[in-house]
């Protein structure tokens, strides 16, 4: 997972449209228009570089923080099989963070700097991970809905104009599709189980549905960076379009489970061949983004603790690298 339309915040100024203001920028835009990939050593406008660093690093942070809500259930998974699958899934998310920090580094920023921005609270990550996982069914709902929303967001990024990001996304999307299926399988098992199990699945859907829709970010009209990101082909579809696609794909899956969605306005629109739906609670969205969700403080505390406790690993790795470099220097003399 998990990009979110975090490219905007209220009062944030859009990065100025730079295209066409110099010959280099014009050539750059022509390459994008021809669907060529931009590689790390190619010339690029500063705004393009900054937009990508922000987006890729927020994405990487989300992968890493995203391990916490599910990690909560590894020791309590109901069977050995469920435990092995969940462990593999959570490890995948760590790998996604790793590829993405690597992709961000090709833009000339260090991983240490990006991690520092996360730990100090300066950088954002997806709001969805600030909600608690209170029952086992939440693990099903997260895989089905959260990874499902992530796939919808991320498939278009496989064609992003920046080469290292687009290539990382191809592998990530393959793994996300496994995550989505494992979540849906948990939901299916619960929905076909005892009345208590079905109620547990319904309760998880009730709690995760709206936060999942928030993952697509604010309405297009409130998204100030969108036009430039579209012109640069960093973004291919608008937040609202992706959200609608997700709803249209997911509602029939929920109906198959025999569960209901917590949105009384949700109904099929024959004319549009799409589902109409109710309005997101944007106040809640902004509150969680700004740090006041149920688990924001817990998540940051857990990340900071893990970072502090990993200091000896970083020191040992640096000492080992220095020893090897010294040996190589001695051998060359």
Binding site for Fe ion (CB under 5 A): 1, 63, 93, 96, 147, 176, 179
Do 118 and 299 touch, CB atoms closer than 8 A?
no
Residues 6+ apart with CB under 8 A from 205: 141, 145, 187, 254, 259, 260, 261, 262
Alpha carbon distance 265, 247 (integer Å): 13
The least distance separating Fe ion from the CB of residue 304, rounded to whole angstroms, comes to 22
In this structure, what token pair is assigned to residue 39? 């590689």
In this structure, what token pair is assigned to residue 286? 């902004």
Alpha carbon distance 216, 112 (integer Å): 28
The least distance separating Fe ion from the CB of residue 221, rounded to whole angstroms, comes to 29
Alpha carbon distance 223, 239 (integer Å): 8
The least distance separating Fe ion from the CB of residue 96, rounded to whole angstroms, comes to 4
The least distance separating Fe ion from the CB of residue 218, rounded to whole angstroms, comes to 22
The least distance separating Fe ion from the CB of residue 202, rounded to whole angstroms, comes to 23
At residue 162, the 3 state secondary structure works out as: strand
Alpha carbon distance 78, 279 (integer Å): 36
In this structure, what token pair is assigned to residue 150? 């992530």
Which lies closer to Fe ion via its Cβ, residue 7 or residue 63? 63
What DSSP character marks residue 267? E
Residues forming a β-bridge with 275: 268
Across 257-294, b (16+ Cβ under 10 Å) vs e yields bebebebeebeeeeeeeebebeebeeeebeebbeeebe
The helix (H) or strand (E) run that includes residue 103 is helix 80-105
Alpha carbon distance 182, 277 (integer Å): 27
Which lies closer to Fe ion via its Cβ, residue 124 or residue 179? 179
The least distance separating Fe ion from the CB of residue 157, rounded to whole angstroms, comes to 12
The least distance separating Fe ion from the CB of residue 63, rounded to whole angstroms, comes to 5
The least distance separating Fe ion from the CB of residue 144, rounded to whole angstroms, comes to 11
């Amino acid at each position: 997972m998990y990009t979110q339309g975090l490219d905007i915040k209220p009062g944030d100024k859009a990065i100025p449209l730079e295209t066409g203001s110099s010959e280099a920028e014009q050539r750059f835009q022509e390459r994008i228009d021809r669907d060529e990939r931009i590689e790390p050593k190619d010339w690029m406008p500063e705004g393009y570089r900054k937009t990508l660093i922000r987006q890729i690093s927020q994405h990487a942070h989300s992968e890493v923080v995203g391990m916490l809500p599910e990690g909560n259930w590894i020791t309590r998974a109901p069977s050995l099989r469920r435990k092995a699958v969940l462990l593999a899934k959570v490890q995948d998310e760590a790998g996604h963070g790793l590829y993405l920090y690597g992709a961000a580094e090709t833009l000339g920023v260090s991983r240490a700097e990006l991690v520092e921005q996360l730990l100090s609270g300066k950088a954002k990550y997806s709001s969805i991970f600030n909600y608690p996982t209170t029952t086992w069914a939440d693990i099903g709902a997260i895989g089905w809905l959260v990874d499902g929303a992530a796939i919808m967001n991320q498939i278009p990024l496989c064609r992003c104009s920046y080469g290292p990001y687009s290539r990382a996304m191809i592998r990530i999307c393959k793994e996300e599709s496994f995550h989505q299926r494992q979540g849906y399988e948990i939901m299916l098992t619960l929905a076909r189980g005892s009345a208590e199990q079905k109620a547990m699945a319904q309760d998880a859907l009730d709690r995760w549905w709206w936060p999942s829709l928030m993952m697509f970010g604010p309405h297009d009209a409130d998204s100030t960076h969108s036009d430039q990101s579209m012109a640069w082909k960093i973004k291919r579809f608008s937040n609202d379009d992706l959200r609608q696609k997700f709803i249209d794909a997911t509602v029939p899956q929920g109906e198959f489970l025999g569960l209901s969605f917590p949105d009384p306005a949700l109904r099929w629109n024959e004319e549009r061949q799409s589902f109409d739906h109710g309005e997101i609670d944007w106040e809640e969205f902004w509150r969680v983004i700004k740090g006041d969700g149920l688990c924001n403080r817990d998540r940051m505390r857990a990340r900071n603790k893990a970072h502090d406790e990993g200091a000896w690993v970083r020191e040992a790795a640096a000492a080992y690298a220095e020893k090897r470099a010294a040996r190589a220097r001695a051998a060359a003399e």
